[in-house]
């Protein structure tokens, strides 16, 4: 039995045991993978013994640099960025985060790179960008001294590089850099669970010529990725990096095995996604005009992800013991909206990953949009031309949609008013075609989210 372990502090939510077990199962390694929570002051006393006990160690925060004095040698990548995440039995240190990062195939060579943050991951991405031959690298970090320190170490490591390295020190400079950037790298935790509504840059500044890499993997996808895809740009998430750095570590520890990274990554992804949805719960909120298929698509989407489905209108009817048209008639639209907001907040804030379909009016109100952004929710709009929607609305049960009671003309006016709100507020938009079944539209949503179908 081969023994491997991860050293870090704290390690509560590590996905590494799950990933390494999946690799063991896929390639037939008889091994174990332990989590060893090691406070910084314990490192020097315990590392030599651990190197004897284990065939290989992974190292994470806060030990990636602290282990360097104990190692017998460093790989080129580890030396370049001055940090190690993998130690072999002979005490040599490697940095397989770089393998995970580079596996995205980002157009770093000749690119104009904008890098957010100046922590450990940002540092690795900065060194790899300059090493790959970036044309320019602009750093944006809320702590100016850290950005300056990173620039100094890059200049020291690459004295003859032609890469123009600079700092964007104001939000205006960030906005200018984003306009001319070809690659955006997020080195901050902004957008990470439990704040999935966050985005490290104003989504309206993203553009179709950007390739974005966001190492954050909980949630998968992040709002940054969805908004990049919404603008037509290319976006890569952190789950692939996480899986590929683990595969690369196993490759170092088991040099006799020829590991097929692509096949292994594809095999591991469904179990990881299931685990993330259970351990780091998020809501996927479907919005759109009446008739856009939110309930039908939502049900199938939830099935495909193996999570619950909630139709907000159904909850409102069940809890009030009456139909929505009757609620409109008895308490008026404003009374209905107050109950709707309150119920939506309760559902979007409760534990557990769920797909939630909302009535067409919910996101129209600014206070509801703010409430949604303060929850762990990603927003997907189902979009269709009015003619398609009217065909569906007008063939449904008469009187079941109070906002369509005025007939086609007033309903189209409402559509024209609401559609721009759906389009600008959503993190991603999918066309709900009549020629597609709900299952096909749900597949399109999954593709946009970059998630596998789990059932
Ligand atoms: P880190 O060393 O703590 O660095 C975080 C950086 O983000 C720092 O520059 C920090 O600025 C900045 N920052 C933190 N909160 C911010 C905020 N609210 N607004 C703006 N900037 C903020 O962290 P790290 O190890 O580099 O990790 C960064 C992210 O990468 C994490 O979310 C982690 O999940 C992800 N990651 C993914 C993988 C993977 O395999 N996919 C691997 C490693 C890390 P200050 O210096 O001013 O605090």
Tell me, yes or no, if 231 is annotated catalytic: no
Which residue has its alpha carbon closest to ligand 1 atom 18? 190
Residue nearest to atom 34 of ligand 1 (CA): 216
Out of 102, 168, 187, give the residue to mutate to test ligand 1, the one with the largest number of ligand atoms within 8 Å of its CB.
187
Q: Name the packing angle between helices 16-27 and 261-279 (round to 10°).
A: 140
Distance 216 CA to ligand 1 centre (A): 9
Closest-CA residue, ligand 1 atom 7, reads 188
Q: Which atom of ligand 1 is closest in space to residue 240's alpha carbon?
A: 41
Name the percent of the chain lying above pLDDT 70: 100
Q: pLDDT tens digits, residue range 296-355?
A: 999 999 999 999 999 999 999 999 999 999 999 999 999 999 999 999 999 999 999 999
pLDDT in tens, 112-166: 999 999 998 999 999 999 999 999 999 999 999 999 999 999 999 999 999 999 9
Per-residue confidence band for 401, with pLDDT thresholds at 50, 70 and 90: confident
Residue 286: predicted pLDDT: 98
pLDDT for residue 414 is more than 80: yes
245 Cα nearest atom in ligand 1: 40
Task: For residue 105, report the distance from its CA to the centre of ligand 1, in Å.
Answer: 22
Residue among 106, 121, 239 whose CB has most ligand 1 atoms within 8 A, to mutate: 121
Q: Return the best residue to mutate from 15, 149, 188, 269 for the ligand 1 pocket (most ligand atoms within 8 A of CB).
A: 188
Q: How far is the CA of 246 from the centre of ligand 1 (A)?
A: 20
Q: Is the dihedral of CA 250, 251, 253, 256 positive or negative?
A: positive
Residue nearest to atom 40 of ligand 1 (CA): 242
Q: Is the pTM of this model over 0.85?
A: yes
> How much distance in Å is there from the Cα of 201 to the middle of ligand 1?
14
At which residue do the structure tokens 């139709």 appear? 311
Supply the pLDDT for residue 403.
Answer: 79
Q: Which residues line ligand 1 (CB under 6 A)?
A: 61, 97, 100, 117-122, 141-143, 146, 187-190, 192, 215-217, 238, 241-242, 245
Measured from the Cα of 192, ligand 1's closest atom is 32
Q: How remote is the CA of residue 406 from the centroid of ligand 1, in Å?
A: 52
How many other C-beta atoms lie within 10 A of the C-beta of residue 132? 16
Q: How wide is the angle at C-alpha 19 spanned by C-alphas 90 and 49, nearest 5°?
A: 30
Q: What's the start-to-end Cα distance of the chain, in Å? A: 33
Using DSSP bridges, classify how beta strands 31-37 and 73-74 pair: parallel, antiparallel or unpaired: unpaired
Residue 406 has pLDDT above 90, yes or no: no
Distance, CA 283 to ligand 1 centroid (Å)?
Answer: 23
Give the separation between CA 332 and CA 316, rounded to whole angstroms. 15
Instruction: Supply the pLDDT for residue 150.
Output: 96
Task: Supply the mean pLDDT for the chain.
Answer: 95
Q: Please tell me the distance from the alpha carbon of residue 356 to that of residue 294, in angstroms, as a whole number.
A: 9
Structure tokens, 197: 């509504």
Q: What's residue 443's pLDDT?
A: 97
In this prediction, residue 455 carries a pLDDT of: 84
Q: For 14-57, how does the pLDDT look when each residue is reduced to its tens digit (9 = 90+)?
A: 999 999 999 999 999 999 999 999 999 999 999 999 999 999 99
72 φ, ψ (degrees, to nearest 5): -85, -15
Query: Is the per-residue pLDDT at 394 higher than 90?
Result: no
Which of the following is catalytic: 3, 30, 64, 433?
Answer: 64
Instruction: Report pLDDT digits (tens) over 81-102.
Output: 899 999 999 999 999 999 999 9
Residue 248 has pLDDT above 90, yes or no: yes
∠ CA 6-7-12, nearest 5°, is: 80
- pLDDT(402) > 80: no
Beta-bridge mates of residue 33: 4
Residue nearest to atom 33 of ligand 1 (CA): 216
Query: Can you tell me the mean pLDDT for 410-414?
Result: 95
For the CA of 198, the closest atom of ligand 1 is 18
- Confidence label for 404 from pLDDT (cuts 50, 70 and 90): confident
Give nearest CA residue, ligand 1 atom 4: 119
Sheet with 73-74, strands from edge to edge, namely 31-37, 2-8, 56-59, 86-88, 92-94, 73-74
Cα(121) to centroid(ligand 1), Å: 7
Note the pLDDT of residue 397. 74
pLDDT in tens, 261-281: 999 999 999 999 999 999 999
| CA distance linking residue 117 with residue 138, whole number of Å | 11
């Amino acid at each position: 039995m081969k023994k491997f372990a991860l050293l870090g502090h704290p390690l509560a939510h590590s996905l590494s045991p799950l990933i390494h077990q999946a690799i063991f199962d896929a390639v037939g390694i008889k091994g174990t993978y332990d989590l060893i929570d090691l406070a910084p002051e314990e490192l020097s006393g315990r590392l030599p013994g651990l190197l004897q006990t284990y065939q290989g160690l992974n190292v994470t925060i806060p030990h990636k640099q602290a282990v360097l004095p104990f190692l017998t040698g460093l790989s080129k990548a580890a030396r370049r960025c001055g940090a190690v995440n993998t130690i072999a039995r002979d005490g040599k240190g490697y940095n397989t985060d770089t393998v995970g990062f580079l596996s995205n195939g980002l157009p770093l060579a000749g690119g104009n790179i904008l890098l957010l943050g100046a922590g450990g991951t940002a540092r690795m991405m900065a060194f790899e960008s300059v090493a790959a031959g970036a044309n320019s690298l602009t750093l944006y970090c809320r702590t100016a001294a850290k950005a300056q320190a990173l620039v100094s170490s890059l200049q020291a490591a690459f004295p003859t590089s032609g890469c123009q390295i600079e700092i964007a020190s104001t939000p205006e400079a960030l906005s200018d850099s984003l306009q001319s950037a070809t690659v955006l790298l997020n080195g901050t935790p902004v957008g990470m669970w439990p704040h999935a509504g966050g985005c490290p840059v104003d989504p309206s500044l993203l553009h179709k010529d950007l390739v974005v890499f966001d190492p954050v993997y909980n949630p998968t996808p992040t709002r940054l990725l969805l908004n990049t895809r919404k603008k037509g740009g290319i976006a890569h998430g952190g789950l692939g990096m996480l899986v590929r750095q683990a595969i690369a570590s196993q490759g170092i520890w088991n040099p006799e095995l020829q590991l097929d990274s692509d096949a292994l990554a594809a095999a591991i992804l469904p179990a990881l996604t299931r685990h993330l949805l259970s351990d780091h719960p998020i809501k996927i909120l479907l919005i759109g005009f009446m008739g856009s298929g939110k309930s039908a698509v939502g049900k199938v989407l939830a099935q495909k992800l193996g999570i619950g489905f909630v139709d907000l209108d159904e909850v409102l009817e069940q809890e009030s013991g009456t139909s929505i048209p009757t609620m409109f008639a008895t308490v008026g639209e404003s009374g209905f909206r107050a109950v709707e907001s309150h119920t939506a907040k309760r559902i979007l804030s409760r534990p557990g990953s769920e797909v939630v379909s909302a009535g067409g009016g919910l996101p129209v109100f600014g206070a509801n949009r703010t409430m949604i952004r303060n929850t762990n929710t990603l927003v997907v709009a189902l979009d269709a031309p009015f003619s398609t929607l009217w065909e569906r609305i007008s063939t449904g049960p008469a009187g079941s949609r109070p906002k369509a009671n005025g007939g086609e003309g007033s309903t189209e006016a409402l559509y024209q008013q609401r559609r721009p709100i759906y389009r600008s507020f959503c993190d991603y938009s999918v066309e709900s075609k009549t020629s597609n079944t709900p299952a096909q539209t749900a597949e399109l949503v999954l593709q946009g989210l970059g998630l596998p179908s789990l059932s």
